[in-house]
Structure 1
Amino acid sequence: MKHVKKRAKLLLPILALLLVLAGCQTVGGLDVNKALLGNLDVKSAEESMSFSLNAVPAAGISAEDQKIIDLINSFTLNVSHLKLQEGGDISASGTLGYKQASIPFTFYMSKTVLALNVEGAKKPFYFPMEGYYQELSGTGLDLEKAESVNKLLSQFVIKNLPNPSAINVTPVNEAVYGESLNLMKLHAEVTGDELPGLLKAFLKSVSQDTEGFTELISGLYDYLLPVLKQESTTDMLSSIGLGDVPLDNKAEVVTVLHDAAKLAVDTALLLYDKELDRLYESAPEIKTVLSKDTKLQVDLFVDSALHIRKQNMSLNVALPNDGSIPIRSISFKTETQLWNINGPVKADPIATEGALNVMETELTPGVVLRNFTADSTAYRVLKDDLGITKKSVVIYPGEDYSDTVVKGTTTMIPLRYLAYELDAEVKWNAATKQIIVTDDVYGTTIVLKAGSKDAVVGGVKVKLPQPVFFDRYGRGYVPLRSIAEALHAQVKVDSEGLIYITRD
């Protein structure tokens, strides 16, 4: 848990660093704020995007850690064509790179469905969205207002974030989707040691922006009023001084919320330096992340309509060399291009008739693999590289909750426990008094009968070393090794009697 907490702390400054550049003021005659907000008004467009990352290993790491780092560095995502249709429908086509593999995919999302198709899949995977939107509508929220609230929040944040020290604008001629355009190139850099000062400046600006703060809270009030009126929010409202305020009195509610929020920001400013020192003291590794070796670089290419037509971003994050993380630094790189802005764009839907509904189907490793042809790249990556079918179970006889018992020289185990660990399905046939076990990955069936040593595995009759029996709790016990091996697993026992069940 100690390492988990450390890693969680490290994420906070990394995420904050990514937000800093959103607040650039006018530079070289370019109103960057308006350019960033201009993209919020894009109703339709086409886009391409690429993403890659690179992890630098720490010295002396294990071969296992190095293998994981090599896999991380092999990951790439290339979206060759994304289409945003007016109204919100989105489609995308591209490739996912992993090791030496390249896996083509298509994606589609609307208000009714989210669908994914991967080369080699027998059927697309899809997730019905109707219930999701109905659930949101049931809260009383006006989903149509969500976009305006998002814009209002973006305006507020962008307006108050300060400029980084390294920022400049130059006119350039740049190709976007094969078209040569005259653009303004904004280049900005932020290092980790700048971040605390930039965040403090942001809080100061927010504290002084009474008009913007009030406008933001007013917009949030209009959007969240149905939720605020729900009984479940009463205690929360009382805790911030709204317990006795009539919720329909917008002016009074907004005033109370503004004052409470401003007090929180002002308090944060008063304690900022002291809390920052305390953070450094309690988590010294943060100093490495917030150092000059952590660096964000962004190039934005803006057209005359103040739309960002191209964006290149790279982020390198320095990580502490304290043994908690086998990586010295990790860098991310993205490149995007945008064209046909607010033009006629139609997303490409994915047919879901006969597709795999992930809401109705348990996506076990076997179900996922069987949906791919065995000779496909995706199948090989899932099974061999990612090892989604691999299992490793350790049983401590006499102490483990698996409740093993020994009959003669045979270890017996509750069937449902073993089946659960190996993703197998267990059914009871009342008519024939038989237990039917189905292997998740290979589909092998095992037919058993209480009180009998006779079994049928994959259509072949076999003799078990001990008969199946039920204990006083109604649990069916089976010979551990025989059934595990029938489910394509291997069983080993060490010198201390520990039982290892593994499946590749």
Structure 2
Amino acid sequence: MRNVKKRAKWLLPILALLLVLAGCQTVGGLDLNKALLGNLDVKSAEESVSFSLNAVPAPGISAEDQKIIDLINSFTLNVSHLKLQEGGDISASGTLGYKQASIPFTFYMSKTVLALNVEGAKKPFYFPMEGYNQELTAAGLDVEKAEGLNKLISQFVIKNLPNPSAINVTPVNEAVYGESLNLMKVHAEVTGEELPGLLKAFLKSVSKDTEGFTELISGLYDYLLPVLKQESTTDMLSSIGLGDVPIENKAEVVTVLHDAAKLAVDTVLLVYDKQLNKLYESAPEIKTVLSKDTKLQADLFVDSSLHVRKQNLSLNVALPNDVGIPIRSISFKTETQVWNINGPVKADPIATEGALNVMETELTPGVVLRNFGTDSTAYRVLKDDLGITKKSVVIDPETDYSDAVVKGTTTMIPLRYLAAELDAQVEWDAASKRITVTDDIYGTTIVLKAGSKDAVIDGAKVKLPQPVYFDQYGRGYVPLRSVAEALHAQVKVDDEGLIYITRD
């Protein structure tokens, strides 16, 4: 846990770095703030998007780590056609690249459903959105309000973020979806070294922007009033000194919140440099992330309507020299083209009749694989490359919480523990005292009976080395090796008595 928290510290600057370019002010006669905010008013459009990764390995890493890095570097995502329909419906079609494989997919999201179809799948996967949206609406946060809230916050942030030192604007002729356009190209770069100063400048701007800060809080109040009235929220407000302020009194609430927020920002500014130095001392590796080798580069192509029609983004993040991190740097690249802005766009729905409802179905490895043809690329990638069926369990009969016990020369184990480890389903028939175990991957069925050595595996009778029994807590115990092997796992015992259960 200590290492997880430690690494989280140097991940934070990466997220901040991605925000900085959103605050570009007027450069070369082009109002970049208006251009970026203009995209928030896009109601419909069509796009293409590509995404790729590249990880640079650390010297002397293991063959296993190198294999993982090679897999990361083989990953690509290409959305050849994304459609944003007015009203919020979205569809996308493209390919997912992995090693030498290319897997076509389609995606659709509306207010009622989120659906994904992958080439080779027998049925699409879908997630019903009605309940989710109803919960948001009940809390006063429907989709329309969420969009307004996003715009409100974006306007405030973009207004106050400073320009990076490297930024310029030049007129260019650029092709977008096969159309030659006269555009303004904005090129900007931000390094990790600049980030602390840029964030401090942002906080200073926020502190001075009394009008904008007040407008932000006033707007947040309007959007979030239903949430503010909830009991849990009023308790939280009381803890910060708003307990005596009537929630319905907007002017007073906004004033108190503004003063509290400004005080918090000013307090951060007073200790900013000192706390930054403390951060460097407690986590020296963060200096690697916040170095000149960490760099975000962006090329934005803006049309005369101040819409970003094309953008190329690349982010390279230098990582600290840590034995727990097998890579020295990782870079991300994405390219986007946008056309038919605010034109007639119709998203392509995915039919969900007979599809796999992920809310009602537990997506075990077996369920996922059975939804794909065994000769499909997706099946091969999931099973062979990603190894979603692989299992590895180590049991120490002396100390392990599995509660394994030895009867004669046979290790007995609670059936539900073993079944859970191998994703098998267990059904108990109280009338006949029969237990039916169904293998997740191959569908093999095992029928057992309390107090008996007799078992039936896929219709064939088998004798167990020890009878099935129930302990004082009502847990059914079965011979570990017999049942694990029937569930297509291998069982080995080392010289120290440790039991290894594996499945490919």
Q: In the alignment, what sits opposite 2:111?
A: 111
* Displacement after TM superposition at 1:112 (Å): 0.2
Q: In the alignment, what sits opposite 1:322?
A: 322
> What pairs with 1:61-460 in structure 2 (closer than 5 Å)?
61-141=61-141, 143-460=143-460
The letter for the 1-side match of 2:490 is Q
Q: In the TM superposition, what whole-angstrom CA distance separates every residue of 1:195-224 from its partner, at most 9, and x where no partner exists?
A: 111111101111111111011100000011
Q: Which moved more, 1:155-164 or 1:132-141?
A: 132-141
Contact 1:142 1:223 in 2 (8 A): no
Show structure 1 runs of 4+ deviating over 6 A.
none
Contact 1:448 1:454 in 2 (8 A): yes
In 2, Cα distance between the equivalents of 1:242 and 1:428? 55
Look up the SS of the partner of 2:152 in the other structure. helix
Q: In the TM superposition, what whole-angstrom CA distance separates every residue of 1:326-371 from its partner, at most 9, and x where no partner exists?
A: 1100000000000000000000000000000000000111001000
In 2, Cα distance between the equivalents of 1:149 and 1:469? 60
In 2, Cα distance between the equivalents of 1:132 and 1:240? 30
* Displacement after TM superposition at 1:142 (Å): 5.1
In 2, Cα distance between the equivalents of 1:485 and 1:330? 42
> What pairs with 1:483-494 in structure 2 (closer than 5 Å)?
483-494=483-494
In 2, Cα distance between the equivalents of 1:173 and 1:370? 50
Contact 1:23 1:162 in 2 (8 A): yes
In 1, Cα distance between the equivalents of 2:121 and 2:344? 31
Q: 1:416 to 1:205 in 2, by over 3 A?
A: same
Alignment TM-score, normalising by the size of structure 1? 0.99
Look up the SS of the partner of 2:51 in the other structure. strand
Q: In the alignment, what sits opposite 1:12?
A: 12
In 1, Cα distance between the equivalents of 2:428 and 2:148? 55
Q: 1:380 to 1:142 in 2, by over 3 A?
A: closer
Aligned residues: 504
Unaligned ranges ≥5, structure 2: none
Look up the SS of the partner of 1:193 in the other structure. coil
* Displacement after TM superposition at 1:20 (Å): 0.5
* Displacement after TM superposition at 1:241 (Å): 2.2
Q: In the TM superposition, what whole-angstrom CA distance separates every residue of 1:137-177 from its partner, at most 9, and x where no partner exists?
A: 22234543222221111111101000111110100000000
Q: In the alignment, what sits opposite 1:23?
A: 23
* Displacement after TM superposition at 1:3 (Å): 2.0
In 1, Cα distance between the equivalents of 2:404 and 2:287? 51
Look up the SS of the partner of 2:193 in the other structure. helix
* Displacement after TM superposition at 1:228 (Å): 1.0
In 1, Cα distance between the equivalents of 2:96 and 2:463? 47
In 2, Cα distance between the equivalents of 1:424 and 1:149? 45
In 2, Cα distance between the equivalents of 1:196 and 1:286? 12
* Displacement after TM superposition at 1:41 (Å): 0.5
In 2, Cα distance between the equivalents of 1:193 and 1:185? 25
> What pairs with 1:461-480 in structure 2 (closer than 5 Å)?
461-480=461-480
Contact 2:392 2:501 in 1 (8 A): yes
Q: In the TM superposition, what whole-angstrom CA distance separates every residue of 1:374-428 from its partner, at most 9, and x where no partner exists?
A: 0101001111111111111111112112222222211111111111111111112
* Displacement after TM superposition at 1:467 (Å): 1.5
The letter for the 1-side match of 2:218 is S
**Percent identity for Structure 1 against Structure 2:** 90
Contact 2:140 2:223 in 1 (8 A): no
* Displacement after TM superposition at 1:305 (Å): 0.3
The letter for the 2-side match of 1:326 is P
The letter for the 1-side match of 2:407 is K
In 2, Cα distance between the equivalents of 1:29 and 1:455? 81
Alignment TM-score, normalising by the size of structure 2? 0.99
* Displacement after TM superposition at 1:5 (Å): 1.4
Look up the SS of the partner of 2:194 in the other structure. helix
Contact 1:53 1:332 in 2 (8 A): yes
In 1, Cα distance between the equivalents of 2:142 and 2:321? 48
Contact 1:425 1:438 in 2 (8 A): yes
* Displacement after TM superposition at 1:433 (Å): 2.8
Task: Calculate the aligned-residue CA RMSD, in Å.
Answer: 1.0
The letter for the 2-side match of 1:417 is Y
The letter for the 1-side match of 2:363 is L
Contact 1:471 1:477 in 2 (8 A): yes
Contact 1:94 1:106 in 2 (8 A): yes
Contact 2:25 2:162 in 1 (8 A): yes
Contact 1:55 1:73 in 2 (8 A): yes
In 2, Cα distance between the equivalents of 1:159 and 1:216? 12
In 2, Cα distance between the equivalents of 1:322 and 1:437? 45
The letter for the 2-side match of 1:308 is V
Look up the SS of the partner of 1:227 in the other structure. helix
The letter for the 1-side match of 2:50 is S
In 2, Cα distance between the equivalents of 1:497 and 1:142? 58
In 2, Cα distance between the equivalents of 1:88 and 1:331? 31
In 1, Cα distance between the equivalents of 2:437 and 2:199? 59
Q: Which moved more, 1:175-184 or 1:130-139?
A: 130-139
Q: In the TM superposition, what whole-angstrom CA distance separates every residue of 1:31-81 from its partner, at most 9, and x where no partner exists?
A: 100000010010000000000010001111111111111111111100000
Look up the SS of the partner of 1:164 in the other structure. coil
Q: Which moved more, 1:494-503 or 1:446-455?
A: 446-455
